[in-house]
Copies of this chain bind each other. A is one copy, B any other.
């Protein structure tokens, strides 16, 4: 839907404010009243622009998804297309970079999923789709590496990625992304590759 939808200035402020509050405090913990006043806007404007809190939540998740993908691609685009392994490693660099500029509140999508328990909530679809997308990204990169069976390895990379993200929200000591990248390399090296060429 609203990919490049231009927002009114008030709408922009509302979404920015909501995004920050939803992420840092949690979705249920923040009321529309707070969001409106923090954005310097009346509740009427908020409802005129977004219709409901649920739709505002969806807009928050969609925009975050979009920004994360842009961040990911801008990191991956720095390596040539014929270096899929480096691209994979770049995903983990992008994650570290993404997390280090933010509060220790873990993954916004995982956190949101924890609060949106109703199966029918439209926000859930956004979250599930973004996770599926990432997993498929791993699959396509592993295919370029001539892996015999990329799916199970992609799944391990995905699990590693999710675990890393969650771990950021704990204050446990961590070697950071470096360790995970080593694991990634081990997993790919030890996997079966297609036999090809002369």
Name A residues whose Cβ lies closer than 8 Å to a Cβ of B: 24-26, 28-29, 105-107, 110-111, 113-115, 117, 127-128, 131-132, 135, 152, 155-156, 158-164, 166-167, 169-172, 174-175, 179-180, 183, 186-187, 190
Contact = CB atoms under 8 A, between A and B. Distances in A.
A156 B170 contact: no
A129 to B, nearest CB: 10
Nearest to A178: B152
A40 B163 CA distance: 39
Given A158-B163, A159-B180, A163-B164, 16 more contacts: A25-B117, A28-B28, A28-B29, A28-B115, A29-B117, A105-B114, A106-B113, A106-B114, A110-B166, A110-B169, A156-B179, A158-B167, A158-B172, A159-B164, A162-B163, A163-B163
B169 A166 contact: no
Contact of A156 (B25, B132, B162, B180): B180
Given A114-B114, A156-B180, A132 B172 contact: yes
A159 B166 CA distance: 8
Contacts of A167: 158-159, 162
Nearest to A161: B163
A131 B106 CA distance: 14
B128 A170 contact: yes
A117 B24 contact: yes
7 nearest A-B residue pairs (beta carbon): A163-B163, A111-B114, A159-B163, A28-B28, A162-B163, A114-B114, A162-B166
15 contacts: A29-B115, A105-B114, A106-B110, A107-B166, A110-B114, A110-B169, A113-B170, A115-B115, A131-B170, A131-B172, A152-B175, A152-B179, A158-B163, A159-B180, A161-B163
A126 B9 CA distance: 43
Nearest to A135: B172
A160 B158 contact: no
